[in-house]
Structure 1
Amino acid sequence: MQVQVNTHNGVEGREAMELWANEEVNAGLARFKDHVTRVEVHISDENSGKAGADDKRCVMEARVAHQHPAAVTHHAPTVDEAFRGALRKLKHLLESTLDRRNDHRDRDSVRRDIDAAPVIDETPAA
């Protein structure tokens, strides 16, 4: 699974953040590594130099094989909280999407194969 981290100008510690985010995404989404080909992380400070409530934003987009990309957004007062919130949302989204896709394949259909149905002998007994 490839992780691409993009930070905007208002976010400090770009290189350290990219390493940290890469490790966290790989650890948090480890069970989906066979399904997810790439995760893009976009971290930004919406108010840049000004202080404000919930002004840090993290957008995560997961590229799932043979499906449309799945994206989530989380706003928080700190970059760490925004990142962890987005990771939690993405994990939940992937769980529900992939588990639902895999779950229905393990169930029996209500439509049975007619050839596989038991044959009832209706000949009268003599």
Structure 2
Amino acid sequence: MIIQVNTDNHIQGKEELNTYVNNLFNEKLQRFDSYLTRIEVHLSDENGGGKAGADDKKCNIEARLENLDPIFISSQSDDISKALHDGLAKIKRAIEHQLDKVKN
């Protein structure tokens, strides 16, 4: 499974964040490894780096499963870590749902 992390110019610590996201997703989605070909994670700060705002941190995740349509989710929060973890939980549920549909 390939995990690609993209950030906008307002997200700090891109190398550390990239390593963290790769490790987190590999751990949490390991059981789907044989089905997943690619995960794309897009992190952004909608208001820009210096401005605070409600739910201004956004996490979009696209999961590509072998021989199936891609799955896309979006999550927003006032904290990038929370948006990321909420997005991971959503994509995990969506992958489970998609694979259950295929099996039945």
Q: TM-score range by the shorter chain?
A: over 0.9
1:100 deviates by 2.2
Give 1:56-67 correspondences, 5 Å limit: 56-67=57-68
1:54 corresponds to: 55
Tell me the distance in 2 between the aligned counterparts of 1:92 and 1:65: 17
Give 1:40-119 correspondences, 5 Å limit: 40-48=40-48, 49-102=50-103, 104=104
Tell me the distance in 2 between the aligned counterparts of 1:77 and 1:66: 36
1:28 deviates by 1.1
The higher-RCO structure (CA 8 Å, 6+ apart) is 2
Deviations, residues 73-102 of structure 1 (Å, cap 9, x unaligned): 000011100000000000000001102211
Unaligned 5+ segments in structure 2 are none
User: 1:100 is matched by which residue type in structure 2?
Assistant: K
Runs in 1 of length 4+ with deviation above 6 angstroms?
A: none
Deviations, residues 22-80 of structure 1 (Å, cap 9, x unaligned): 01111111111000000000000000121101100000000110011101000001110
Query: Which of the pair is proportionally richer in strand?
Result: 2
2:26 corresponds to: 26
> How many positions carry a matched residue from both structures?
103
1:8 corresponds to: 8
Instruction: Tell me the SS of whatever aligns to 1:84.
Output: helix
User: 2:28 is matched by which residue type in structure 1?
Assistant: G
* Identical columns (%): 41
The TM-score, its normalising length taken from structure 1, stands at: 0.80
Q: Which has the larger radius of gyration?
A: 1
Unaligned 5+ segments in structure 1 are 105-126
Q: CA RMSD in A?
A: 0.7
The TM-score, its normalising length taken from structure 2, stands at: 0.96
